[in-house]
Structure 1
Amino acid sequence: MQSKHQHSDQYDNASLGLEQVWHFSPAWIPDLNGEDGVTPSGNSQIERFNQNLSNYYDAQAKQFTAISTVRDAQVGYYLELKGHPQIDQKDSADQQFLIISKTFYNQNNLPKDLNEQINRLVEQSHWQLANITTNNSEERQANQLTLQRRNISTAPEYNPLKHRPVAYPQRAKVVGPSGEEIHVDEWGRIKVRFLFTRNEDHSHDGGAGSNDNDTDSAWVDVLTPWAGEGYGARFLPRIGEIVVIDFFDGNIDRPFVVQLNSTLATSVILKRQIAVTGEEKALS
């Protein structure tokens, strides 16, 4: 967790450190010079993350575990606890607890010999069972509740390295300024529009992401089978072509182009020469 302490009243950090940018910037930044068209992270972004994380730890410090046989206890409901020597000394607001999680324990109403046989099989299987016990051994149902003081804000845990969606290869269309056939930067990177984007979802940002031009993405790396300093080969996708996008480390903020995905029908000549290996070039 980053510190919320402000080290200087006269100077506000203009940019984040390398490690912070890597985790919080919304796109792939190989040069970190702000030249790839990505919106850089700022202090407000890192401060908002810090505040959410601080709220999460504050909430954890005010959480309690309780064993109950109340069937109607449900997540999202709150209860007022009475008869506890310490909690009774608190204010009324601190005696109210919100149920934020619930673990069930239910036992079948089976004959004793059959129930014992099932218990032995369960033990032999080494299943991880919830160890919930009550004061009454005859109870066939119970639950374990995680409680939090009702006046404490509920904040979910968020770790940018763990809590991120699973990314799979996707298709995208190569985009660029009007009138250009190939649009790249000095690193050979291109810009794309993902095929799932809709105009109505991007109207708030001038349509960026669905304009079919160079405002639709940051610069995206293009893989090549052979590259080096002063040698190699590049096969740059042209505007309008469909490419396959994958993601470094499975991170949706780190896209790269794997290869082109041709959308043109196979020609008659190619069908006749399916055993011939070669390449066709278009000189421009």
Structure 2
Amino acid sequence: RDLCVGEYFTLEGHPEISSHAAEERDFTVTALQVTAQNNLPKALAARVERLFARNRWMRKDADGAHDAQLRQELAGHVAEGSSRMHIQFTAVRRGVPIVPAYDPRTDLPQPQMQSAIVVGPEGEEVHCDEMGRVKIRFPGTRAQD
């Protein structure tokens, strides 16, 4: 229960990984899912589950699908009396750089249409400097700027 995303741990007692070098046994937690069952009486627990289902307080996978299979497995363990909590995590070796997913189609801001007013000295229709540029002012800014 003390496991947190971003922390690292040393894996010990694994048949294969325990034989690796010390730095290869350290792992960083990148994702953590905790599913817990309350300890209410069964009649009341069923009502609470229905209430949560109505409020859509169910965890969703990355794909957006409900984790019905995981909840059914947990319910089976609870019915057996073997478990009231299920913790699932994803980890990478500590030496592996963690880089967030990047998609320029969604991560870069999309350019939007903007409007501005061409400004210049009094009496001139359009004033250009020696390089052919015009001075503009965006709506909402002060004229003296």
TM-score, reference length from structure 2: 0.58
CA distance in 2, matches of 1:143, 1:101: 11
In the alignment, which of 101, 113, 116 is matched to residue 31 of structure 2?
Answer: 101
Distance change (3 Å), C-alpha of 1:162 and 1:240? closer
In the alignment, which of 4, 10, 15 is matched to residue 85 of structure 1?
Answer: 15
Equivalent residue, structure 2, for 1:129: 67
Deviation track 1:169-200 (CA, whole Å, cap 9, x = no partner) reads: 66767689xxx7247x9xxxx9xxxxxxxxxx
* Root mean square deviation of aligned Cα: 4.0
Name structure 1 gaps, 5 residues minimum.
Answer: 1-70, 191-213, 215-237, 244-260, 265-284
Equivalent residue, structure 1, for 2:102: 158
What's the secondary structure of 1:162's corresponding residue? helix
Equivalent residue, structure 2, for 1:110: 40
Name structure 2 gaps, 5 residues minimum.
Answer: 59-65, 121-125
Equivalent residue, structure 2, for 1:242: 138
Equivalent residue, structure 1, for 2:123: none
CA distance in 2, matches of 1:105, 1:173: 57
Equivalent residue, structure 2, for 1:143: 87
Query: Aligned letter for 2:23?
Result: A
Structure 1 position 72, deviation (Å)? 0.7
Query: Aligned letter for 1:94?
Result: E
Aligned 8 A contact 2:119 2:127 in 1 = no
Bigger proportion of residues as helix: 2
Structure 2 matches for 1:218-237, cutoff 5 A? none
Structure 2 matches for 1:157-176, cutoff 5 A? 157-165=101-109
Work out the percentage of aligned pairs sharing the same amino acid. 29
Equivalent residue, structure 1, for 2:61: none
CA distance in 2, matches of 1:113, 1:107: 14
Between 1 and 2, higher relative CO (CA 8 Å, sep ≥ 6) is seen in: 2
Query: Aligned letter for 1:239?
Result: K
Deviation track 1:207-237 (CA, whole Å, cap 9, x = no partner) reads: xxxxxxx6xxxxxxxxxxxxxxxxxxxxxxx
CA distance in 1, matches of 2:113, 2:36: 43
Distance change (3 Å), C-alpha of 1:156 and 1:182? same
Structure 2 matches for 1:1-284, cutoff 5 A? 71-119=1-49, 122=53, 128-129=66-67, 131=70, 137=78, 138-165=82-109, 181-182=127-128, 239-242=135-138
